[in-house]
Amino acid sequence: MENIKIGVIGLGFMGDLHANCYSTLPNVDLVGIADKDPQKKELADKYNTKFYDDYKDLLSSDVDAVSVCLPDMFHVDACCDAAKAKKHILVEKPLAHNHESAEKIINASKENNVRLMVAHILRFDPRCVQLYENTSRDKIGDLIHIKAKRATIIDVANRLSSTSSILYYLGVHDIDLINWISRSEIKSVYAKKVEKHNNGNEDSLLAILELENGALGMLDYCWSWPSALPSGYNFNFEVLGTKTGNFIDMRDQGIWEITQDKLSSFDTHLWPTTNGQITGDLRDELLHFSEAIKNQNKFLQEPDFAAKSIKVIDCIFESIEKGIKVSV
Ligand SMILES: NC(=O)c1ccc[n+]([C@@H]2O[C@H](COP(=O)([O-])OP(=O)(O)OC[C@H]3O[C@@H](n4cnc5c(N)ncnc54)[C@H](O)[C@@H]3O)[C@@H](O)[C@H]2O)c1
Please write the tens of the pLDDT for every residue from 291-312: 999 999 999 999 999 999 999 9
DSSP secondary structure of 290-308:
HHHHHHTPPPSS-HHHHHH
Beta strands in 93-202, from DSSP E residues, in sequence order: 116-119, 143-153, 186-194
Question: Ligand 1 within 6 A of 79 CB?
Answer: no
The protein residue whose alpha carbon is closest to atom 30 in ligand 1 is 36
The span from the CA of 7 to the CA of 250, in Å, is 31
What pLDDT, on a 0 to 100 scale, did the predictor assign at position 311? Answer: 98
**Per-residue pLDDT at 50 exceeds 80:** yes
What pLDDT, on a 0 to 100 scale, did the predictor assign at position 251? Answer: 87
Q: Is 267 exposed, middle or buried (0-12, 13-18, 19+ CB in 10 A)?
A: middle
Ligand 1 centre and the CA of 211: distance in Å?
32
**Per-residue pLDDT at 91 exceeds 80:** yes
Question: Ligand 1 within 6 A of 53 CB?
Answer: no
Q: Which of 58, 70, 174 has most ligand 1 atoms within 8 Å of its beta carbon, as the pocket-test mutant?
A: 70
What pLDDT, on a 0 to 100 scale, did the predictor assign at position 156? Answer: 86
Beta strands in 212-267, from DSSP E residues, in sequence order: 216-225, 233-241, 245-249, 256-258, 263-265
The span from the CA of 271 to the CA of 83, in Å, is 28
What pLDDT, on a 0 to 100 scale, did the predictor assign at position 1? Answer: 65
Q: Taking Cα atoms as reference points, which of 39, 4, 32 lies closest to residue 18?
A: 32
Cβ-based neighbour number of residue 46 at 10 Å? 12
Asked if 65 and 89 count as a contact pair (C-beta separation under 8 A), the reply is yes
Amino acid in position 203: D
Amino acid in position 128: C
pLDDT > 90: what percent of the chain?
89
The CATH number of the domain covering residues in 126-268: 3.30.360.10
pLDDT tens for residues 196-242?
998 888 999 999 999 999 999 999 999 999 988 888 889 999 999 99
Phi/psi at 44 (5° precision):
-65, -40
The protein residue whose alpha carbon is closest to atom 7 in ligand 1 is 14
Domain boundaries, the chain: 4-121, 126-268
What residues are paired with 40 via a beta bridge?
A: none
Cβ-based neighbour number of residue 183 at 10 Å? 15
Ligand 1 centre and the CA of 62: distance in Å?
23
Asked if 114 and 89 count as a contact pair (C-beta separation under 8 A), the reply is yes
pLDDT > 70: what percent of the chain?
100
0.85 cut: is pTM over it? yes
Q: Taking Cα atoms as reference points, which of 235, 212, 21 lies closest to residue 128?
A: 235
The span from the CA of 197 to the CA of 171, in Å, is 20
Ligand 1 centre and the CA of 96: distance in Å?
12
What pLDDT, on a 0 to 100 scale, did the predictor assign at position 29? Answer: 97
What's the chain's average pLDDT? 95
What pLDDT, on a 0 to 100 scale, did the predictor assign at position 159? Answer: 85
Q: Which of 69, 169, 250, 301 has most ligand 1 atoms within 8 Å of its beta carbon, as the pocket-test mutant?
A: 69
Candidate from 3-17, 106-120, 189-203 with smallest mean pLDDT: 189-203
| Matching CATH number, 4-121, of 2.130.10.10, 3.40.50.300, 3.30.300.180, 3.40.50.720 | 3.40.50.720
Question: Ligand 1 within 6 A of 69 CB?
Answer: yes
* Fold agreement (4-121, 126-268): no
pLDDT tens for residues 246-285?
999 988 899 999 999 888 889 999 999 999 999 999 999 9
Q: What angle do CA 222, 176, 286 make, to 5 degrees?
A: 105
What pLDDT, on a 0 to 100 scale, did the predictor assign at position 256? Answer: 93
Of how many residues is the chain composed? Answer: 328
